[in-house]
Amino acid sequence: MTDNRRYSGEYADDVERMHTPGGMSEPAAASGRSADGADLASTDMSQEPSSREPDSQAEFGARTGLPAEPAEQAARRLEAQLEEARERHLRLAAEYDNFRKRVARERAELSDRAQAALVGRLLDVLDDMDRLSGDGASASSEQFRHAVELVDKKLWKELQAAGVERIDPVGAPFDPSLHEAVSVAPPPSPDQDHQVSATFQVGYRFKGTLIRPARVQVYSEQGQA
């Protein structure tokens, strides 16, 4: 009995301490459906966000670095930029057209100067031809032939210096890129098949560019070049 009374007294003391102000902490805030409803009720959804206010927009634009300008002013600015780009394009087109014309003119002048230089080299040959035609009547046939040979050598010397090359392919293999076969003949031997047997008209090249192909006769067993 003594133990039961002692335990009962301790339990009573514990209950008394729980109801004292220092014996138990304040109850926690209410939670659950009723608490959530109270929170939603305390929120005013009719208010506009602060970022939609003009002052807030200006502050936001300054903070983010975005241009804050009226739509009409932005449109005028873009139109001015477009007009400036159009004028710059027109200037560039005009400059390119002038450059193209200048290059074409310089090329023509360069070609004219090159032709004038070639004619200057041939002037001595023309003078010899004039003297030969004037004095040829009093010269013998041997002297006249020798004079013509000298003029021909002088002419070819100047032409070769300018880049002219003579094409006379007798005995060489037929090359359709340089020769024009005007006739064929049976070869004397199989080794001479598709070789040039005769040149009817010599060809010419100028600095590697074909001016006129050589017109030739070709040996061919099959009867065609």
Domains along the sequence of the chain with CATH: 70-162 (3.90.20), 165-225 (2.30.22.10)
219 with 197: CB under 8 angstroms?
yes
Residue 17 has a pLDDT of 54
DSSP-derived secondary structure letter, 208: T
The alpha carbon torsion through 33, 35, 39, 41 (nearest 10 deg) reads 70
Distance, CA of 71 to CA of 107 (rounded, Å): 54
Q: What is the value of pTM for the model shown?
A: 0.53
Residue 130 token pair: 């004039």
Radius of gyration of the chain from Cα atoms?
Answer: 55
- pLDDT of res. 40: 44
Sheet holding 214-219, edge to edge: 179-185, 214-219, 196-201
The four Cα atoms 14, 17, 18, 20 give a dihedral, to 10 degrees, of 160
The candidate with the shortest Cα–Cα distance to 174, out of 189, 199, 194, is 194
Q: What is the pLDDT of residue 65?
A: 60
**What whole-number distance in Å separates Cα of residue 101 and Cα of residue 109?**
12
For residue 160, what are its two tokens? 């070769």
DSSP characters over 150-188: HHHHHHHHHHHHHTEEEE--TTSBP-TTTEEEEEEE--S
What is the full per-residue pLDDT of the chain (225 aa) written as tens digits?
Answer: 444 444 445 555 554 555 554 444 444 444 444 444 444 444 444 444 444 454 555 555 556 666 578 888 889 999 999 999 999 999 999 999 999 999 999 999 999 998 999 899 899 999 988 888 887 677 788 888 888 999 999 999 999 999 999 999 999 999 999 999 999 999 999 899 999 999 999 999 999 999 999 999 999 988 676
